[in-house]
Structure 1
Amino acid sequence: MRNLVALSVLFFCFGFMGRAQVPTPMSTNSSSGVTVPDTTEKNTIKDCEYGDCINGWGKKLFSYGYYEGFWSNGKRNGYGMFDWSDSGKYIGFWVSDKMTGYGVYIGVEQDMVGEYTDGMIQGLGYIVKGDDWKQGVYNLSQLVESYPFVSNDVNSGCTAGDCQNKYGRYKWSNGDSFTGFFKNGKMYMGTYLFASGDKYTGMFNNNNQFHGQGRFFFSNKDYYGGEWLNGKYHGRGYFQGQTAADDKIGEWSNGTFIKRL
């Protein structure tokens, strides 16, 4: 998982920490159907390489790859990563062994980012193949409504696309920017880049706070992936620090680490 974070940073161009306090974001006024590879329990070659693969955090091996992340009742639930040996990896959220929630699939031929249901893009998202980006509304991984993304010929504010109810880029005078999906003029899902170099990718609430499911990349290489509530770590999450001794994997409450899993 530590190597995976470094790969993810290349792909994407608070209680307990005294080192970094996540700022509150500023307010803002057809593809063919594709699925990610199989993740069923067949061909299991090792029940649990390490950790707790029943009700905690653990790594399980398969003949075609491995899963490392959170488990509930023996099933993949919450934040985790599945790495297929020859076809790519999915980093995101799961419900009962299914890729469901916010997720990122980094494939050999294309990448798929957005809202997943049962292993397919269902809702808002985008698919990238080379220089070709297709962002908009998806149904069973098929693009059913395309959201244009063109320059608005301005240097601040909504610099590209539609920052009200579709896909756009908003830039602030302090150097921060957000690129992603908007609903009713509010950030909904996407990437918020701070002028400091910190970066968040995931979901937001109506107050433009990190909320639900998301990942935070610190400029000092620290990392958090997991659940959020009103801008703070809350629920199950994975924090990776400068060394393995700094890592915190488990339950969080309003930004405070409360239970190791």
Structure 2
Amino acid sequence: MKKLLLIFLLSPIITLAQNENSNNSIEQQENRVIVKKCIAGNCINGKGTMQYQTGVYEGYWKSGLRDGEGKYVWSNGDVYEGEWMQDKRHGFGTYTWHDGSKYVGNYSHGIRSGYGIYYYTNGTIYEGTWQNNLKHGIANFYYKESVNIGGKYINNEYVSGTGINQESYNFKPKQ
């Protein structure tokens, strides 16, 4: 009876944890692992390298948390290099996915927030503001043959903007 009661009480927690983890991208998985081991340096306060189940972090630590400049390389080839605070991407950084797409910009408590540039694998570039990991605010969107200047995005959805011929616009961001 005690086993049955324990299973009944814990099943919502187990189900919630499984659903939560299954919806997260590889970008967010480094904090959701149990297996980790300091393999070099000082992983408490200083500079050190930590082996996680999902990859390797090399950089600065404060009170056992990633804090300061650091680089996380996931086992699938994704890489984040930039600033950390209290174990989350925070400040300026570059996230490069294994498929070649890349985000260069600001993070706040682990999410893309503020100004940033996203480079798509097909050559298209989004330059603008982000909120909660979504394109949100005023932005420029650069295509191969044209550019949309001053476009407005709300929660990743394009709302409005003005398109011009890219040949007459010389300020496309460089990778």
TM-score w.r.t. the length of structure 1 is 0.44
* % identical equivalent positions: 28
Q: CA deviation at 1:160?
A: 2.1
Equivalent runs, 1:153-232 vs 2, <5 Å: 153=168, 159-160=170-171
Q: What is the total number of aligned residue pairs between the two structures?
A: 126
* 1:99 Cα offset (Å): 0.3
Give structure 2 stretches of 5+ with no counterpart: 1-24, 148-165
**Structure 1: how far apart are the matches of 2:87 and 2:117?**
23
Write out aligned runs for 1:215-254 (5 A). none
Note the residue ranges of structure 1 that are not aligned, 5 or more in a row: 1-33, 162-168, 170-178, 180-190, 192-261
Letter in 1 for 2:94: V
Contact conserved, 2:119 with 2:125, CA < 8 A, in 1?
yes
Greater relative contact order (Cα 8 A, min sep 6): structure 1 or 2?
1
Q: Which whole-Å deviations, capped at 9, do the CAs of 1:8-54 have from their partners, x for residues lacking one?
A: xxxxxxxxxxxxxxxxxxxxxxxxxx8823221623242x1010001
Larger helix proportion of the pair: 2
For 2:35, the equivalent position in structure 1 comes to 44
User: Are 2:76 and 1:86 aligned?
Assistant: yes
Report matched runs for 1:60-71 at 5 Å: 60-71=50-61
Q: How does 1:6-17 map to 2 (within 5 A)?
A: none
| Contact 2:29–2:54 (CA under 8 A) maintained in structure 1 | no
1:121 and 2:82 equivalent? no
> Which amino acid in structure 2 is aligned with residue 141 of structure 1?
N
Other structure's SS at 2:28 match: coil
Q: Please name the residue that 1:144 is paired with.
A: 136
Q: 1:132 aligns with which of 124, 127, 130?
A: 124
Q: Which has the larger radius of gyration?
A: 2
